[in-house]
Amino acid sequence: MSEASGLLNRPSFVILDRDGVINVDSDHYIKSVDEWVPEKGSIEAIIKLSKLNIPVAVATNQSGIGRGYFSYAEVLKMHAKFLELLGEDANIIKYISLCPHLPEVDCDCRKPKTGLLTEIAAKLNIAFDKNVFFVGDSFKDIEVARKVGCTPVLVKTGKGKKVYNEHKAELDDCQIYENLDAFVETIK
C-alpha cells in the first residue's frame, strides 16, 4: 500500500467514481440536484487535471434509479450541475458511464464488474494499463480497477476511510490519498 509518496508519473487517463470522490456521498443516496454537493477540493482537482491535459471519465453505480429513489433525468441534472461547476474546463470530462441496476439484477455493468469501464474504453478508444488511474472510495472501485489493469487509487473521502481501515491488508497495489485533490497534487 502506498500512502501519497512522492510524485506520480503523468497518467494517460483518469477514471473517477462519482459519489464519495467527486461529490459528498450519503448512505441514503444522493437523490436530487440539490443534494449533489461537491467534495471539498474535487472540482478544483478536476480543473487541475484539465490544465495538465489529462482526460477524465466517470464510472458510477446509481442503483437508486432501479430502486425508484430518483429518475435518470434527475441524474442528468446532477451531471449538468457538475459540468457547470467545472466551467470552461468541463470538456475534460470525456464520458460518464452509469449503472442504473439493482445489485440483484446481476448485470455486467455494476461495479465491481467491468461493464462501465469497458464502455468507457470502447467509447473513447483507450486501452487500459497502469497509466490509467481509477480513483474511488469503495473496495468495488479497487476491484474493478484491478480487473481491467488500471492503477487503483483509494481516496479517504466518502466510504474511503472505512474501506482503508477494513481492507488495509488488501491494498498493497493501491495509491492512497486523503482526497481527490491530494491525488492530483502528486502528478508531475
137 has catalytic annotation: no
Q: Which of 17, 25, 137, 141 is catalytic?
A: 17
Please name which of 18, 20, 41, 29 lies closest in space to residue 93, comparing C-alpha atoms. 18
**Within a 10 A sphere around the Cβ of 3, how many other Cβ atoms?**
12
17 has catalytic annotation: yes
In which order are the strands placed within the sheet that holds 2-3? Answer: 2-3, 175-177, 151-155, 132-136, 13-16, 56-61, 93-99
Task: Enter the DSSP assignment of 39.
Answer: P
Please name which of 46, 37, 41, 40 lies closest in space to residue 16, comparing C-alpha atoms. 46
Catalytic residue list: 17, 19
